[in-house]
């Protein structure tokens, strides 16, 4: 039950963001046009950044290392900037 409740936290966070969109819509000029455009632009920006990061991971690390890694981002940063850069990214020391 604890794992299910932990997994529900980001789901509910996203739902609350959409739920509060109605309150925001009252404050925006031309809300029926502005809100969908903002949602679409935000979705495209986040999706593009995600794909670009995945492409970067595959270019920096061999595919076998990407497939076997539990922490691909810190492994990619460690190969680019060393262990101190990866520790900065993860916010703590790395263990190998």
Q: What is the pLDDT of residues 25-75, one digit of tens each?
A: 888 888 889 988 988 998 999 999 999 999 998 899 998 888 888 888 888
CA 96, CA 94: separation in Å to the nearest integer?
7
Q: What is the number of alpha carbons within 13 Å of residue 87 lying toward its C-beta? A: 8
DSSP letter (8 states) at residue 81: H
Is pTM beyond 0.95? Reply is: no
Distance of CA 54 to CAs 48, 58, 73, 75, Å? Answer: 10, 6, 9, 13
Cβ-contact 40, 52 below 8 angstroms: no
At a CB cut-off of 8 Å and minimum separation 6, what does 75 contact?
61, 65, 69, 86
Q: What is the pLDDT of residues 59-69, one digit of tens each?
A: 999 988 888 88
């Amino acid at each position: 039950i604890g794992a299910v409740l932990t997994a529900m936290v980001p789901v509910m966070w996203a739902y609350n963001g959409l739920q509060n969109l109605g309150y925001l819509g009252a404050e925006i000029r031309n809300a029926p046009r502005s809100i969908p455009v903002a949602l679409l632009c935000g979705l495209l920006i986040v999706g593009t950044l995600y794909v670009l990061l995945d492409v970067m991971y595959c270019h920096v690390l061999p595919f076998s290392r990407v497939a076997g890694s539990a922490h691909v981002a810190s492994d990619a940063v460690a190969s680019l900037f060393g262990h101190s850069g990866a520790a900065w990214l993860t916010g703590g020391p790395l263990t190998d």
